[in-house]
Amino acid sequence: MKPAMETAAEENAEQSQEKKVITRPEMEIGRYHWMYRSSRPHRYHHVPALRGNISPLGIQGCFECCIKCLGGVPYASLVATILCFSGVALFCGCGHVALTGTVSILEQHFSTTASDHALLSEVIQLMQYVIYGIASFFFLYGIILLAEGFYTTSAVKELHGEFKTTACGRCISGMFVFLTYVLGVAWLGVFGFSAVPVFMFYNIWSTCEVIKSFQSNVTVPGDQICVDIRQYGIIPWNAVPGKACGPILENICNTNEFYMSYHLFIVACAGAGATVIALIHFLMILSSNWAYLKDASKMQAYQDIKAKEEQELQDIQSRSKEQLNSYT
């Protein structure tokens, strides 16, 4: 039997040796920093080790959360949404003002009787109301497609546990593909229709340029060069005067209403073309996302079947072990 004093001394020696043991994290130089004080020697101060993307408190840092969120942003859908908003805004805003200027030009120079262009005025007013509806619809539709892009991107990349591919989600994605295709075909017609006033105003402008070039030529008088708006079908043939010639036509081309309407129709046509490009971009994105979701659903179903088979195999093995134990 050893004395109590010797036993206590041995225990103290063992504890001191255990305290002197340097663990592996403490040997990492990058996790320490020097502390300079007055006359004391340099000391190491331990910094808790980081495991993966987890902070010392076990919570993800702000940088890791931002990287994870940026990884789930559908950049292709975001670019298509911005392009769609820009195209629709240009078409609706410029088209509305250009139609108003067109009515003013017709009333002042080509159709002085209100009954001759009454139908045209009603059609233009109806088109302006349709423009309001188009702007509102595509604002909401662009936001919905952007949200769909966020959903499918998160589901494909499996960034969040709550985003899983379901039959309802795949059905909604397929519905958006079909609806975007129909809207793209419709906007192709809108793009072609918006080119008609551009063509009409270009013909008037080019005729005015011809009149200016013939002003110095005495043999070809400018009064013989005319533009008849009735041939475009926007006003009836009995409209008075229906056409403008020579200096009158040149004065029309020099007005601010003609200049603004001509250029606004060009911008509106460009906006319709940008919207068509955006819808084609959306169609490609939605189609690829739908294909990814379909593949992910097949993989998920395969994993579920495999997990079910493994669980059944484990149940059979556990039952067989129980039977063997009961026999023994």
Q: Can you name the residues that pair with 138 across neighbouring β-strands?
A: none
pLDDT digits (tens, 9 = 90+) for 158-209: 554 545 556 676 788 788 889 999 999 999 999 999 999 999 999 999 988 8
- The 3-state DSSP class for residue 83 equals helix
Q: How many CB atoms lie within 10 A of CB 25?
A: 12
Task: Tell me the Ramachandran region of residue 190: left when phi exceeds 0, alpha when psi lies from -120 to 50, beta otherwise.
Answer: alpha
Contact 267, 86 (CB under 8 A): no
Q: Widest CA span of the chain, in angstroms?
A: 141
Between residues 73 and 268, which one has the greater pLDDT?
A: 268
pLDDT value for 29: 42
Between residues 5 and 265, the one the model is more confident about = 265
E strand or H helix at 306: helix 256-327
Q: What are phi and psi of 60, to 5 degrees?
A: -65, 140
Contacts of 202 (CB under 8 A, 6+ apart): 262
Determine the pLDDT at residue 84: 93
Winning range, highest mean pLDDT, from 31-45, 54-68, 141-155: 141-155
Helix, strand, coil percent content, the chain, rounded in steps of 5: 75, 5, 20
**Which pLDDT does position 164 carry in this prediction?**
58
pLDDT band at 26 (very low <50, low <70, confident <90, very high): very low
CB within 8 A of 292, min separation 6: which ones? 152, 156
Percent of the chain whose pLDDT exceeds 90: 25
d(CA 153, CA 285): 11
- Closest residue by Cα to residue 189 from 273, 121, 78: 273
What pLDDT shows up at residue 220? 54
Give the residue with greater pLDDT, 323 vs 206: 206
All structural domains of the chain with their residue ranges: 84-297
Interval 88-101 mean pLDDT: 92
This prediction has a pTM of: 0.68
Instruction: Categorize the per-residue pLDDT at 25 as very low, low, confident or very high, splitting at 50, 70 and 90.
Output: very low
Q: Which run of H or E residues covers position 181?
A: helix 167-213
Average pLDDT, the chain: 75
Residue 56: predicted pLDDT = 45
pLDDT one-digit tens code per residue, 279-319 = 999 999 888 877 777 766 666 666 667 777 778 778 787 87
CB atoms within 10 A of CB 290: 20
pLDDT reported for residue 22: 47
Whole-angstrom Cα distance, residue 246 to residue 250? 6
